[in-house]
Chain A
Amino acid sequence: MKELVVISGKGGTGKTTLLGSFAALAGRSVLADCDVDAPDLYLLLHPDIRFAQEFRAGQMAVIDADRCTRCGRCREVCRFEAITSDFMVIALNCEGCGACRVVCPAEAVELQERVAGDWFQGQTKYGPMVYARLRPAEENSGKLVALVRKEARAWAEREGIGLLLTDGPPGIGCPVIASVGNADLALIVTEPTPAGLHDFERALALCRHFGVPAMVCVNKFDLNSGLEKRVHDFCAESQTAVTESIPFDESVPRAIRQGLPLVEFDLGPASRAATAVWGQVRSCLIGG
């Protein structure tokens, strides 16, 4: 089984649009949306949800008011300002580290598991899909990403599907690290803007750091051909493969509004380029 993960560094460069098109072009594959903060792939692929489950992870301190002697030791040791002067725990601040429990002389502190998100399995017309959504303002997005990928892999193995397409989150932090680790290929989608360039370099460094082979695609390349060239030069110097670039095309938001993968919406310039990119990515991933 081969896994492609699409990341970008900067948000809004076109990860999901491209991955949705890959799903439509690949024939049968397993789809995973690892942007658990803001999952959007389902809006293009319309999975019919057959399974939904709460995701429990991380903990939160709970203080038993009857046992609490209000000595204040917990407030002294808490580094996250999570305990109020009347000994209530502020859920948003609590890291669940349990330092308060270690020092509480009255054994009034308990650590409770929290529901950090929900995850879903469903069928799309392109293959099975797994995705998840973090509950608002929760932590542990990295663990939720790991769960989505594990379930997607298991499904691929169960059904003998040889390809897993993973939509990654923006950034370079915890959920991105959890998305790229051990993938067979990362496609970094960038745009020819100073922000896109800056973030792409950091995303590429992240792939290097974790030993994941990377390929680069410049989206909306005609907004600034000079910067597109800089991305390509940078890739040539660092021996990173580049795909064909994709032009700026107002069909893209229209396809999203129709809830369709771009390649099924029209055969315009961006759609044709996305098809070419898929050919290059597939050769790199599967060979041939």
Chain B
Amino acid sequence: MRLFWHELRTEQVLFWRNREAAFFTFFLPVIFFLIFGAIYGNDTVAGIRGASFLEAGMIGYGVASTAFAGLAITMVIRRESGVLKRIRATPLPPWTYLVAVLVSTFVTFLIEAALLIGLGRVLFHVGLPPRAFSLLGALVIGAASFAALGLGLTGFVRSAEGSSAVVNFVYLPMAIISGTFFSPNRYPGFLKAIADVLPLTYFTRLTRDVMVSHHHLWSETGSLAVVLAWGVVGLAAAIRGFRWQPRDA
């Protein structure tokens, strides 16, 4: 347990120290919330107020940027720089390390979600989500599934230099197609078809149903099932492809 807290604290320091990564994964969703909120916060999007739509969407974008993209890039860089290899030579148990990394990612994402909700309340007069436990449950499940996908993706990235290119190539289009910024209702058919299989579509739908429509988490079994199924796919890829040592060694 002591090792876990030590590593969790270390991971938080490492995250906030790396300003580029903190900006890219943490602040970008917040900035997009402010910009797009100013543009269409008072319009009606997909039958709901723009600011409410966007707040839930940016939480979706946030899970993709922190738990998926940020985690994947960080782990590839650590693998290729030999940090993971070095950690394996210490008495820190590998599982304690991985769990601490995942929990730290979740802590970051939770802070981000709280910040988005707080800003939405203050700047755009969006009500606080009444189903707090359903929301927390959705965030846990979403973060776990996207983190599994992020770890799974590391197996497909060969170099530290290529990590942000590959990850951005996957996650930015996904974020847009999944309807985090705009309602997918107005998308052309082929984009809708892609959106229909992407996990972020369902996670965003889940958060909107919980936050805006005040549904209980367990009443959204369809969305939950798709998010979890993608999580299982990610986990399988992670078990197959996650490595502690650099490519060349």
A and B are partners in one complex rather than unrelated chains:
no
Chain A residues within 8 Å of B, Cβ to Cβ: none
Chain B residues within 8 Å of A, Cβ to Cβ: none
